[in-house]
Structure 1
Amino acid sequence: MTKTFLGQTAIITGAGIGIGFEVARLLAMRGANIVLNDMDENAAKNAQKAILDSGGNCEIVVGNSADLSIIQQLVQKATECFGKLDLVVANAGITTFGDFFEYQPASLKQLLDVNLFGSFFLVQEAAKAMKNQQSGGSIVLTSSVTGHQAHPFLAAYGMTKAAIEQLAKNLVIDLSPLGININTVAPGATLTERTLEDKDYLSTWSRITPMGKPATVQDIAEAMIFLLSPQARHITGQSLVVDGGWTAVGVSPY
């Protein structure tokens, strides 16, 4: 495999399993040094072992990516262990379903903390490091198709994902002069460890997705890696929807 990212260092949050892990794994295979974050210590250690066993370099920081001290540890570990920071994937996020009329303040606060506070301040801390290095960088934020299209019981979640996309657009002003590009990827239905806990997930989303099946984690990860790559250096402030055409037709699973 071509070592596109040889010598570069990447931070990926929410990367113990699922899309985040696949991004970390593929970047490591392509030469990047990885600083991997997850709240679940066992998941983080298992992910690290898988990357190390395949010949990659990987350090972990266990903890809540909405905690500013964890964010600072991530950036510090990247620079101390590998000398610099080049790539960031702010992937950590939570989903809370709820009827709009019954939705509770505690749920919204948790959602805002992880999906928005964590992403905003990870980008801020990482961009400070990149600014000091004077060597630019690439950042990808994880959005969702629910930031583009209404979905039952996901008003609050969709709001946070639309906000993530606006953050990337707005930061073009601040980051472009530093040689940093920033984009978002908006996954549609994706087969992960969590979604496959629903026995009807694959059949339901295969039926309503124009391409006939939900995405794999590699489908999403490859889109993110493209936006991190040298081939995408002139792309910034954009959102790439990876959903097999679902938002074009918008058929509800309900």
Structure 2
Amino acid sequence: MISEKMFRGHVAIVTGAGEGIGFEIARLLVEHGAKVVVNSLHDESNEKAVKKLNTIIEGSCVGVPGDSSDLTLIQKLVETAKSAFGKVTLAVANTGITTPGDFFSYPLEDFQRTLDVNLKGTYFFVQAVAKQMRADKCAGSIVLMSSVNGEQANRNLSTYAMTKAAITMLAKNLVIELSPYAIRINSVSPGATSTERTTEDSEYEEAWSEVTPLGQTADPRDIAHATAFLLSKNARHITGQNLIVDGGWTATSPAPEGDTF
């Protein structure tokens, strides 16, 4: 349960927050009292997100657009949180890309870009925020966005699945590094989720609803609530874990017909 103003006094950074899951995470944090630094690749989507969030509570959000796999941008996110709100206590590494393709013809450029965004960006974002939390002697909570594709195989998603499995393991491994500083780290693995991007495919919702035991795809806010729980004090003794939010899909794991991701 996320109680009213659960995150009052907290400062969060959320990457990939221009729309979809990332935006809903940022919105839920703002609704419950947090100050939030949001990041999206494009200036326009970042500006729209900040404007929407500040209509909830004025002055609750600032934005830093740019590529979150860029180490200079990552440092700017941390510095902005410090300068605007004085600290960093919560962080969500939500940015990720999917580059489907046949294994036998998969191009090096897609492989490298997927690793840069999903792994390099996540790894060094966590490093930067954790270093700031440690320097400030500030107990913190970090959530990484993994995927059910890191748990179960899907055709034409070998590179994406590899990166998401790695993210789940990163959260587990960093328990050793971060626990001495009272920093918790967990991951969330969404299943099929109806976002602005996925529903560009007109068959996405129907195809994935048919193979999801609960009979429907997730709403981005379903993923946001799971993330907020792990960030909250209600999860104060949970670290190094992966929370799957998939309507039961990984219990049965049927793939939809066709290449619908």
TM range (shorter): over 0.9
The one-character-per-residue Cα deviations of 1:98-127 (angstroms, maximum 9, x if unpaired) are 000000111110000000000000000000
Gaps of 5+ in 2: none
Quote the Cα distance in structure 2 between the aligned partners of 1:24 and 1:197: 23
Superposition TM-score, scaled by structure 2 size: 0.96
Quote the Cα distance in structure 1 between the aligned partners of 2:118 and 2:143: 14
> Which of 27, 30, 34 is the aligned partner of 1:25?
27
Instruction: Give the AA of the match of 2:198.
Output: T
Gaps of 5+ in 1: none
> Which of 206, 212, 215 is the aligned partner of 2:215?
212
Instruction: Give the AA of the match of 2:125.
Output: L
Q: Report the CA distance between 1:201 and its aligned residue.
A: 1.0
Q: What pairs up with 1:16-95 in 2 under 5 angstroms?
A: 16-56=18-58, 57-95=60-98
Instruction: Give the AA of the match of 1:200.
Output: E
Instruction: Give the AA of the match of 1:219.
Output: D
Q: Report the CA distance between 1:55 and its aligned residue.
A: 1.3
Q: What's the RMSD between the two structures over aligned residues?
A: 0.7
Q: Report the CA distance between 1:214 and its aligned residue.
A: 0.5
Q: Does residue 1:15 correspond to 2:5, yes or no?
A: no
Identity, % of aligned pairs? Answer: 54
Quote the Cα distance in structure 2 between the aligned partners of 1:54 and 1:185: 26
Q: Does residue 1:160 correspond to 2:153, yes or no?
A: no
Corresponding residue for residue 144 of structure 1: 147
Q: What pairs up with 1:176-187 in 2 under 5 angstroms?
A: 176-187=179-190
Q: Does residue 1:199 correspond to 2:202, yes or no?
A: yes
Q: Report the CA distance between 1:217 and its aligned residue.
A: 0.3
> Which of 222, 225, 232 is the aligned partner of 2:225?
222
Q: Secondary structure at the match of 2:7?
A: coil
Q: Does residue 1:173 correspond to 2:176, yes or no?
A: yes
> Which of 241, 246, 255 is the aligned partner of 1:243?
246
The one-character-per-residue Cα deviations of 1:126-162 (angstroms, maximum 9, x if unpaired) are 0000001112100000000000000010011000000
Q: Secondary structure at the match of 1:92?
A: coil
Q: Secondary structure at the match of 2:142?
A: strand
Quote the Cα distance in structure 2 between the aligned partners of 1:203 and 1:156: 25
Quote the Cα distance in structure 1 between the aligned partners of 2:219 and 2:17: 15
Quote the Cα distance in structure 1 between the aligned partners of 2:9 and 2:85: 9
Quote the Cα distance in structure 2 between the aligned partners of 1:148 and 1:202: 21
Task: Provide the aligned length of Structure 1 versus Structure 2.
Answer: 254
The one-character-per-residue Cα deviations of 1:197-247 (angstroms, maximum 9, x if unpaired) are 111111111111000000000100000000000010110110000000001
Quote the Cα distance in structure 2 between the aligned partners of 1:125 and 1:206: 38
Q: Report the CA distance between 1:28 and its aligned residue.
A: 0.4
Q: Secondary structure at the match of 1:170?
A: helix
Quote the Cα distance in structure 2 between the aligned partners of 1:71 and 1:159: 23
